Amino acid sequence: MIETAQAFGVDIGGSGIKAAPVNLEEGRFAQPRLKILTPAESTPQAVARIVRQELDHFEVSPDTPVGIAFPAPIKPGHKLDFMANLDKSWIGTDVTEVFSQECGRPVTVVNDADAAGLAEQQFGAAKGKDGLVIATTLGTGIGTALIYDGVLIPNTELGHIELADGRGDAEKYAASSVRDQKSLSYKKWARRLTKYYGLLEKYFSPDLFVVGGGVSRQSDKFLPYIEVRTPMVPAKLRNEAGIIGAAYYAMLKRTK
């Protein structure tokens, strides 16, 4: 691994497992990322073997902090009790232990939305912003990260907050996938997003919303129509945020 990398990040998704060395002075990849398709049977052993393969590919030294962004709430020392995007055999496992054993080194695991939010706060759209930042990812569901004065408040699941008037779970009403399924215009979708972000605004009084997910590339088509008082900005790091945030989080944990 080249000398400009201070940490190594991995982003595990339902379709692909992406990894790269990260330059944490600049918040960017130190080498082009490697992506390997997630196995059809995405068991703990199968996924962990791919992470080990990626570490070997980049020749990551044993003393380099390794962070893994994972699609579930992560509580160190506790076993996983929920899994949506990977094989159900993950339930009941200690995720950090699974990866550490297979990789033959200590690793740090963080929720994928938290990793993306941290990356945006440190290097992207929310860099230098004090107070409460709520970073969201609009995709198949809605992921969230809360960061206060640069400190992560982990494992929030505010995509599942209950909307008023019987609309139920927020992500089933306002996720980007819902817009696709119902063929909503961006303006009509923005009205749904107004209800969602308006509720977050009411409960948390944030200083900034960062809006990520693949749809953030078209942010000019819907952000201007979301009617909330809190400033809203599109994410900058996009698909790189999970890897960069995981690497940054691993570095933080290594220095404590």
How high is the pLDDT of residue 107? 97
One DSSP character per residue, the chain reads: --TT--EEEEEE-SSEEEEEEEETTTTEESS--EEEEPPSS--HHHHHHHHHHHHHHTT--TTS-EEEEESS---TTS-----SSS-GGGTTS-HHHHHHHHHTS--EEEEHHHHHHHHHHHHSTTTT--SEEEEEEESSSEEEEEEETTEEE----GGGPEETTTTEEHHHHHSHHHHHHTT--HHHHHHHHHHHHHHHHHHH--SEEEEESGGGGGGGGTGGG---SS-EEE-SSGGGHHHHHHHHHHHHHHH-
How high is the pLDDT of residue 204? 97
How high is the pLDDT of residue 82? 84
For residue 164, the domain's CATH number is 3.30.420.40
Classify residue 134: in a domain, yes or no. yes
How high is the pLDDT of residue 4? 66
Classify residue 176: in a domain, yes or no. yes
* Whether the Cβ atoms of residue 185 and residue 110 lie closer than 8 Å to each other: no
Assigned token pair, 210: 């960062």
Classify residue 120: in a domain, yes or no. no
Classify residue 241: in a domain, yes or no. no
How high is the pLDDT of residue 256? 63
Classify residue 107: in a domain, yes or no. yes
Classify residue 228: in a domain, yes or no. yes
Classify residue 119: in a domain, yes or no. no
Q: Looking at the structure, do residues 62 and 147 belong to the same domain, yes or no?
A: no
Classify residue 25: in a domain, yes or no. yes
* Whether the Cβ atoms of residue 33 and residue 247 lie closer than 8 Å to each other: no
For residue 71, the enclosing domain spans 7-114+246-255
Q: Looking at the structure, do residues 129 and 148 belong to the same domain, yes or no?
A: yes
Q: Looking at the structure, do residues 129 and 229 belong to the same domain, yes or no?
A: yes
> CA dist 225 to 206, 207, 217, Å?
19, 19, 16
Q: Looking at the structure, do residues 186 and 157 belong to the same domain, yes or no?
A: yes
Domain tally, the chain = 2
Q: Looking at the structure, do residues 71 and 145 belong to the same domain, yes or no?
A: no
Those residues of the chain that have pLDDT short of 50 are none
Residues 6+ away with beta carbon under 8 Å from 242: 9, 11, 18, 69, 112, 115, 116, 119
